[in-house]
Amino acid sequence: MKAFFSEEQLLHTPQQFMRLGRISAPTDLPSRAHSLQGALAARGIAVQAPPDYGRQPLEAIHSADYLDYLETAFTRWQALKAPGVDPGPEVLPNLSPYYSGRVESAGRGPCPSPSIVAQTGYYLSDLSCPIGPHTWRSALRSTHSAVAAAEHVAATGGSAYALCRPSGHHAHRDRAGGFCYLNSSAAAAARLLQTWSKVAVLDVDAHHGDGTQNIFYQRADVMTVSLHADPTGYYPFYTGYAHERGHGAGEGCNLNLPLPHGAGNDPFLRALDSALAALAGYGPQALVLALGFDTYKDDPISVLKLDIDAYRDIGARVASLGVPTVVVQEGGYMVQAIGPALDAFLQGLARA
């Protein structure tokens, strides 16, 4: 197996995010990547820097106006400085337009206002996505890692791992959210579609992959399946329900399997078996696995209770699908655990 990661992905160092009405210390820190790199090194897996693809791979999944915003937001924010005006060190919204999560709300046009303040409210859906001086570049290079992994899988028919940080599965076509700015899993799927006609994205992060669902919800060439904690009391709250099955051409090509809070290995693996059966019925020619370790029992923001052994079983079950697979790293915030979790997953993936 090959792995892909750019050192530029370490440059994004958020200073804060808002949680439960309090400014909190960030959880998506560069130390996450260091832990995962250590696990790869211990298994003798070479890590390769991805090519610089620029914005081109993102144009199939994100709107041009959103990409323009992300690329320029920090510089424009700092330009607000004037007598009596002191913008904070990171770009964060102080207003937001109404957005319900309904599919009919997904086709917004560009923000009608040129104001950086207005656009920040329009393009950042919550207070977990501060934009600092290196956020754009780190997020861009994270998606490049996913695209490079997809290129490798398309060329070899095997598997590859993209160490994506910042994560991506909460990034919608035109908005950031949940620590995610650009959707790496969707970018990998878009690249696989250049080689194959049917692709699937299986998301096993603790949180619903709302951005990925949103991007492909009306398409039949990508099936999206997400296992996650019940969103009635957990982020992203507005999507991730079992009745969401796709729309238009994509009807029947989306599957959500919400799990009760506190669910451990057995219920999670049963849900995974159901997901894999649905995927087998769809018949994808290639797979993107959005792999999150925030399902771990001691993760600081998880409500699921998996132990390390579960990730070995997840790897083996995913491999049993028998299709070329891009593994894209998503969440997981207990730094001491995510390295062992990745090691266990890779053991299972290799043994199947």
The string of DSSP letters for 304-342 reads --B-HHHHHHHHHHHHTT-S-EEEEE-----HHHHHHHH
In the structure encoding, which two tokens stand for residue 299, read together? 């993760």
Quick one: pLDDT at residue 20? 81
pTM score of the predicted model:
0.95
- Unique residue bearing structure tokens 């790199």: 37
Quick one: pLDDT at residue 98? 58
Task: Give yes or no for a contact between 143 and 32, defined as CB atoms under 8 angstroms apart.
Answer: no
Task: Give yes or no for a contact between 160 and 326, defined as CB atoms under 8 angstroms apart.
Answer: yes
Identify the three-state secondary structure at position 10: helix
Closest alpha carbon to 128 in 18, 2, 24, 271 = 18
When divided into structural domains, the chain yields a total of 1
Residue 311 dihedral angles phi and psi, to the nearest 5°: -70, -30
Residue 19 dihedral angles phi and psi, to the nearest 5°: -140, 125
Clarify whether 243 is annotated catalytic: no
In the structure encoding, which two tokens stand for residue 87, read together? 């913008």
Q: Is the link from the previous residue into 166 a cis peptide, with omega within 30 of 0?
A: yes
In the structure encoding, which two tokens stand for residue 199, read together? 């692709």
Residue 176 pairs in a beta bridge with 124
Residue 131 dihedral angles phi and psi, to the nearest 5°: -105, 115
With a cut of 50, list the residues of the chain below it in pLDDT.
none
Specify the CATH number for the domain of residue 244. 3.40.800.20
Quick one: pLDDT at residue 23? 87
Count other Cβ atoms within 10 Å, centred on residue 271.
Answer: 18
**From 169, 170, 208, 228, active-site residue:** 170
Residues in the chain: 352
Count other Cβ atoms within 10 Å, centred on residue 277.
Answer: 10
Give all strands (DSSP E) within 70-198, no chain letters: 159-162
Quote the crossing angle between the two packed helices 30-42 and 335-351, to the nearest 10°.
40
How far apart CA 135 and CA 152 sit, in angstroms, is 26
Q: What domain range includes position 19?
A: 2-351
